[in-house]
């Protein structure tokens, strides 16, 4: 099939869809990018969609492994988010990181693609990840400058205060839940001014926990998620090791016809 418009999603777990479990999707996750691709195709069946994102990838890996592959697909629209896994490392040079990012964005826009970038999330509400808030703020300023220089659009995750509600987050507290991915898809589609039929998710009310219950919940989370996450980094292992891109070539399959 000939695709007259081609959307290619690049990045890490955020774009792959981790946190939005779906046994029927490649890698067992769906995510906001799949939802965006679906809505574009529902509105105009000449769209094709590819998702090259793989969880655990650092920025240079995303740029080295996904930019060339994306350009081969001759994209008309690219979403790119990378750098979150770098920011969480003990040491990182944001300046060096963003110089490479700038080069990658330049290559995409030079090829004629409309590019959408993302600021990083404001993690001030997290006792653990809030420590990287300053790094993320610096990263965001680079993103804004790069977007201005290359005419890219920005989905401003930092300013989306609704995501301070934990109902939009998976139990691992690191990735968005299905509701979070749904809301993000809506925000991306609004940014690119595309028609869609996605409603804002309704979150279930969460009862307030006593201090003792919260401490027990935090301890359980540390055992189940934080410790394994730290352990992988100490061993040089990535959650994406052995995984392939969900949709490495342009697709227009039946999955775009069901649900949102």
pLDDT of residue 1: 66
Q: Over the Cα atoms of the chain, what is R_g?
A: 18
pLDDT of residue 17: 96
Q: Which segments within 64-214 are labelled E, that is strand?
A: 77-81, 114-118, 153-155
The rounded distance, in Å, linking the Cα atoms of 206 and 96 is: 42
Assigned CATH topology for domain 5-200+244-257: Rossmann fold (3.40.50)
pLDDT of residue 120: 95
Would you say the C-alpha torsion 103, 136, 214, 220 has a positive or negative sign? Answer: positive
The rounded distance, in Å, linking the Cα atoms of 90 and 260 is: 38
Q: What is the pLDDT of residues 207-219, one digit of tens each?
A: 666 766 555 655 5
The rounded distance, in Å, linking the Cα atoms of 26 and 23 is: 8
Cβ atoms within 10 Å, residue 132: 18
The average pLDDT across 101-128 equals: 91
Lowest mean pLDDT among 3-17, 38-52, 84-98, 193-207: 193-207
Q: What is the pLDDT of residues 166-215, one digit of tens each?
A: 889 887 868 999 999 999 999 999 999 999 999 988 887 676 667 665 55
The average pLDDT across 100-108 equals: 98
User: Would you list the domain boundaries of the chain?
Assistant: 5-200+244-257
Q: Quote the pTM value.
A: 0.89
pLDDT of residue 260: 47
- Pairing outcome for strands 153-155 and 77-81: unpaired
Q: How far is CA 171 from CA 44, 79, 123, 136, 139, in A?
A: 35, 26, 16, 22, 26
Q: What is the pLDDT of residues 215-250, one digit of tens each?
A: 565 556 556 555 665 566 656 666 656 789 999 999
Q: What is the pLDDT of residues 42-80, one digit of tens each?
A: 999 999 999 999 999 999 999 999 999 999 999 999 999
Within 13 Å of residue 64, how many CA atoms lie on the same side as its CB?
6
């Amino acid at each position: 099939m000939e695709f007259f418009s081609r959307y290619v999603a690049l990045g890490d777990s955020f774009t792959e869809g981790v946190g939005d479990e779906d046994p029927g999707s490649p890698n067992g996750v769906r995510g906001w990018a799949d939802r965006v691709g679906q809505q574009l195709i529902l509105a105009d069946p000449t769209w094709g969609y590819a998702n090259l994102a793989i969880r655990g990838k650092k920025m240079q890996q995303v740029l080295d492994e996904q930019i060339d592959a994306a350009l081969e697909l001759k994209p008309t629209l690219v979403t790119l988010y990378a750098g979150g896994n770098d920011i969480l490392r003990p040491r990182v040079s944001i300046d060096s990181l963003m110089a490479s990012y700038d080069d990658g964005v330049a290559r995409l826009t030079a090829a004629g693609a409309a590019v959408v970038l993302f600021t990083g999330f404001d993690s001030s509400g997290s006792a653990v990840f809030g420590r990287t808030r300053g790094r993320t703020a610096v990263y965001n300023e680079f993103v804004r400058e790069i977007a201005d220089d290359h005419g890219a659009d920005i989905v401003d995750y930092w300013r989306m205060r609704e995501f301070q509600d934990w109902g939009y987050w998976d139990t691992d507290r690191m990735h968005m839940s299905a509701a979070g991915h749904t809301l993000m898809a809506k925000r991306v589609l609004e940014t690119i001014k595309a028609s869609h039929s996605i409603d804002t998710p309704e979150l279930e009310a969460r009862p307030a926990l006593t201090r003792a219950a919260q401490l027990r919940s935090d301890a359980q989370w540390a055992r189940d998620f934080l410790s394994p996450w730290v352990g992988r980094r100490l061993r040089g292992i990535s959650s994406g090791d052995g995984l392939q891109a969900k949709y490495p070539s342009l697709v227009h399959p039946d999955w775009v016809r069901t649900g949102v």
